Structure 1
Amino acid sequence: MQPVEINAGTWYLRALRADDRITDVPALSLLGVDSPADYVASANADWDAETRFVWAICIPTTGELIAVIGVTPDGSSGELWGRAREGYDEALDAATAAVSRFAEGALGLIVAEHFTRTIR
């Protein structure tokens, strides 16, 4: 599956990027990701394999990554997880409902009420 962009009200969700136009590598470093470029590559490969779905939560006017959210399928259920940069918890909270709807509607997953504030 190709990555799907989501509008979450004030926030814009897109696939992670690390190319000559946009790079999420510095922001992922701020979130504590050890090898951000490798993380971007594996997140995009996981979209293709449909084993993990990861979005950058961005400021719409700049495209800057301020949080990461994802859902990891496990049979018919999905684990929802994410982490925000300092000061951007509201963006992560807003994206939770939109990603849950996508996981349930487009992927047919039952998303648990529990939300893990981490990066997977």
Structure 2
Amino acid sequence: MEAVEINAGEFYLRQLRADDRIDDRVALVAGGLFPDLATAGAHIAERTKEWHTEESCSWAVCDQLTGTAVGEVALTSTGELTCWTTPDLRGKGIATHATAAVLRFGFGFLDLPLITARPPDGPARRVAEKCGFTAEGPLGVWTRLR
């Protein structure tokens, strides 16, 4: 599948990039997920491959005015959602905004009947709750039906 951009108002979601025009590796390192630019670049290459093999859709969450990546959101073909934002912007509703947009894409365009998430901490659980997910069992899985 070709990568799809999502206009989500204050933020827009686009494919992660590391090229001569846009370099999202800096945001990935700033997010604390990758120790260096090379590892972040490998992640971007993997995410690009996943779009083409239809294993996962993933987006850089970008500020609408500057185009700067401030996080990432991904949805696998089996309906598992992940989302994060850079530490300096956490608590501002960005993850909730991005998650809600991807839920609409997953339920609408991909026609998924169920989307799951595994929020790792309290703030992530609050995002899941705001987006309509409910906790399911002791394994930390949260679900959202259409």
So what's the TM-score if we normalise by structure 2?
Answer: 0.72
Tell me how many residue pairs correspond in the alignment.
Answer: 115
Q: Flag the structure with more relative contact order, 1 or 2, with Cα contacts below 8 A and sequence separation at least 6.
A: 1
2:96 equivalent to 1:93: yes
Give the gaps of 5 or more residues in structure 2. Answer: 122-146
Q: Which residue number corresponds to residue 111 of structure 2?
A: 108
How far did 1:33 drift? 2.2
For the residues of structure 2 that align with 1:50 and 1:117, how far apart are their CA atoms? Answer: 25
Question: Under a length normalisation based on structure 1, what TM-score does the superposition of the two structures give?
Answer: 0.87
Moved over 2 A (4+): 110-118
Q: Distance in 2 between matches of 1:110 and 1:85?
A: 30
Please tell me the residue identity of whatever aligns with 1:49: T
Other-structure match for 2:45: 41
Q: Using a 3 Å threshold, how does the CA distance of structure 1 residues 117 and 16 change in structure 2: closer, same or farther? A: farther
Structure 1: 5+ residue stretches without partners: none
Q: Which residue of 2 aligns with 1:83?
A: 84
Q: Distance in 2 between matches of 1:102 and 1:117?
A: 23
Q: Is the Cα–Cα contact under 8 Å of residues 58 and 75 in structure 2 kept in the other structure?
A: yes
The answer to whether 1:22 aligns with 2:22 is yes
Query: Is the 1:55–1:70 Cα contact (8 Å) retained in structure 2?
Result: yes
1:71 aligns with 2:75: yes
1:115 CA drift (Å): 5.3
Aligned pair partner of 1:51 in 28, 51, 55: 55
Give the Cα separation in 2 of the matches to 1:114 and 1:69.
11
Alpha carbons 1:72, 1:80 under 8 Å: kept = yes
Deviations 1:52-98 (A, max 9, x none): 11100001111111010010122xxx011111112244111101111
Contact 2:9/2:64 (CA < 8 Å) preserved in 1? no
Identity of aligned residues (%): 37
**2:16 partner letter:** L
Corresponding residue for 1:13? Answer: 13
Displacement of 1:110 in angstroms is: 2.6
Instruction: Give 1 or 2 for the bigger CA radius of gyration.
Output: 2
